[in-house]
Amino acid sequence: MTDEIRVPALGESVNEATVAQWYKQVGDSVIVDEILCDLDTDKVAIEVRAQSAGVVKEILAPEGTDVEVNALLAVIAEGELKQPAQKAKKDQHPPSEAKKKASDSKEILAKSSPNQDIEDSPAAKKLMTSKGIKSAAVDGTGKDGRVMKPDVTKFLADVHPNTLDERRTSPPDDGFSPSLELEERVPMSRLRQTIAKRLKSAQNTAAMLTTYNEVDMTNVMEIRNEYKDVFSQKFGIKLGFMSFFVKACCNALLEVPEVNGEIDGTELVFRRYVNMGIAVGTPSGLVVPVIRNANELSFAEIEQTISSLGAKARDGRLALSDMQGGTFSISNGGIYGSLMSSPILNPPQSGILGMHKIQERPIAMNGQVVIRPMMYLALSYDHRIVDGKGAVTFLVRVKEAIEDPRRLLLEV
């Protein structure tokens, strides 16, 4: 019997994908639910898994092929898995040599044996495949020892710390040394192409304008420092700054609904709920997973949702449903050290808040110069639906709520 591997449903309005990478080749054995290949769509990367155990008989869509929904990707011949040749060779070693080999590989075997059923992240797999690295050689920091892309990057830096320097160094001009490649050309992924189109479309379509303010983070930082341990013990999640900003934005959006609205043809759409998009940087590009009905969630629920969506984004496991339906977005460039920027709208949304680096600065307070941890805030908005008064009012409400967090409890 054979099992046909086909392109799964890709989600609403997505009809085509590109075969990004095969993890199996013709003749390789597979087990149930093992990842066979990755598909890139214009929104997310999708893992295609084996539905039955067997051997890969044929691959009909090589890497780089554009495929439509239900297109045939590969054929698996069901049946008993092949006995790995490596095991047979291992049995041929004399006892003394086998013992020595086991001793030399003790750490790797100890790591790989208990975690043979753990799937490493797709991004990590892709990088390890391209560099010829075995998963067992990398210390995984993910759940149950799962290898993540940063683990592979760290492994490469530790094992080959001079790789980058060697590429930048010109070879000796002896007439025999081959020239080193100083440039690399790779095709843009569908996700990257879509990001480029959407960002440029936002600039071309919306009457985009940005207004700025600054916020004193003193009170929020004091609350966080005082309650972070209790919060973590009770809810099993760290208390971050993002939940404060999500709550502050939700309150402000319900007061200034046009910032939470959108233009649909000749109609304006206003909402009494908030689906908050949180911009997350991933190895594949920027994605914006959505916290649904954020205005109804507690601090703990917001932090737990952000943590879950962030982990899925970094592992390339976001579903299309995780990124649909956002009504407003927050982008935190401060985690990369940005002091000030003008975020670009995520269409069809009409507003996006930019958070930035917290930096101590001298400010005037009650006639005196004091040092305070300050953050610049930026609100980019679509001037076609949001007037200057509404934009400034929204940003002032966020500032007031952050500087006096009691307002978040009273929703004033």
**Of these residues, 66, 93, 139, 383, which one is catalytic?**
383
Between the alpha carbon of residue 107 and those of residues 104, 148, 231, 352, 381, the distances in Å are 8, 19, 37, 48, 54
- And the tokens for 228? 């972070």
Q: Which residues contact 363 (CB under 8 A, 6 or more apart)?
A: 216, 369, 370, 371, 372, 374
What span, in angstroms and rounded, lies between the C-alpha atoms of 395 and 251?
11
356 annotated active-site: no
Contact 276, 294 (CB under 8 A): yes
Contact 252, 397 (CB under 8 A): yes
165 annotated active-site: no
Contact 331, 316 (CB under 8 A): no
What span, in angstroms and rounded, lies between the C-alpha atoms of 5 and 74?
5
Q: How many CB atoms sit inside 10 A of residue 219's CB?
A: 14
**Of these residues, 91, 173, 387, 404, which one is catalytic?**
387
For the CA atoms of 46, 120, 195, 320, the dihedral, rounded to the nearest 10 degrees, stands at 40
State the chain's maximal CA–CA distance in angstroms. 85
SS (H, E, C) 12-74: CCCCEEEEEEECCCCCCEECCCCEEEEEECCCCEEEEECCCCEEEEEECCCCCCEEECCCEEE
Task: Kindly list the catalytic residues.
Answer: 383, 387
